[in-house]
Amino acid sequence: MENSFHTDLVKALGEIKNPDLDGKANYGKYATINSCLKAVKTVLQNNNLSIMQLTFTEPDRLVTRIIHTSGQFIEDGGVPLHLANKNNPQQLMGCITYAKRNGLCACLGIAGDQDDDGQSATPVDELPKPESKPQPQQKTEAVEPELPQETPSEQIPEPANPMQKQLLWINEQIIGFERHRHMGQHNAWSTENSETLKELKSANKAMYDDLLKNWKKRKAVLENV
């Protein structure tokens, strides 16, 4: 029975394909939890397997478990659940959704994000400088600049749920703070997201304060490393 479990698991892992990147965030495209589940559920079922994702406390985490019809299973160590206000159900569910997506992708060996070649985890001062491109030869004749084409308002899709998307983005940033390894990287995040932070502070001061609280919490840890 154990050999059957391993055989079915290896077969399923070989058949599973990467999910469609149907979501968009400030760092690029990513696969939503719906897209991830769509990519794996049928393959798992065809190989006598299923997926369970359970929340635990002390520490707060979400554990991904792959179960076989024989009763055997394997599970990961869990994705940490970090959020500023556990009493806020929207923030909590957004955090759990983010953890479910990451745990599912890691456990089944699929990619749910665009590959940035490790730039998000590399200190800013260690990133390669962009190659300088040769300057085009200047023309002697004056050329009238082309104005950007305006996008018709009806072609701009309205967000399905702006508040929910905002909460998901905040939770992604809070979890992402744990990947910051030094203050250069931590401060670079503030610079890169300065405009977004200004908009968030103006639109929802409470959410902004929660995000800032977690940023300062990670800063205190990095300064004592």
Residue range 155-172, pLDDT digits in tens: 444 444 566 777 788 888
DSSP per-residue letters across the chain: -HHHHHHHHHHHHHH--PPP--EEETTEEE--HHHHHHHHHHHHHHTTEEEEEEEETTTTEEEEEEEETTS-EEE-S-EE---S-TT-HHHHHHHHHHHHHHHHHHHHT---B---TTGGGS-GGGSPPPPPPPPPPPPSS--PPPPPPPPPGGGSPPPS-HHHHHHHHHHHHHHHHTT--SHHHHHHHHHHTHHHHHHHHHH-HHHHHHHHHHHHHHHHHHHT-
Report the distance separating Cα 156 and Cα 153, nearest Å.
Answer: 5
- The verdict on residue 55 lying in a domain is yes
- The verdict on residue 74 lying in a domain is yes
48: tokens are 């006598």
Domain count, the chain: 2
Residue 51 pLDDT: 93
- The verdict on residue 121 lying in a domain is no
pLDDT tens for each residue of 109-151: 898 877 654 555 455 565 555 555 566 665 555 555 554 554 4
Residue 119 half-sphere exposure toward CB, CA atoms < 13 A: 12
- Which of 108, 127, 156 marks a domain boundary? 108
- Which of 108, 125, 150 marks a domain boundary? 108
pLDDT tens for each residue of 200-221: 888 888 888 888 888 898 888 8
Q: Which domain holds residue 206?
A: 180-225
- The verdict on residue 125 lying in a domain is no
Residues 104 and 184 in one domain: no
Residue 44 pLDDT: 95
Residues 13 and 94 in one domain: yes
Report yes or no: 59 and 40 within 8 Å, Cβ to Cβ: no
- Which of 66, 91, 108 marks a domain boundary? 108
- The verdict on residue 129 lying in a domain is no
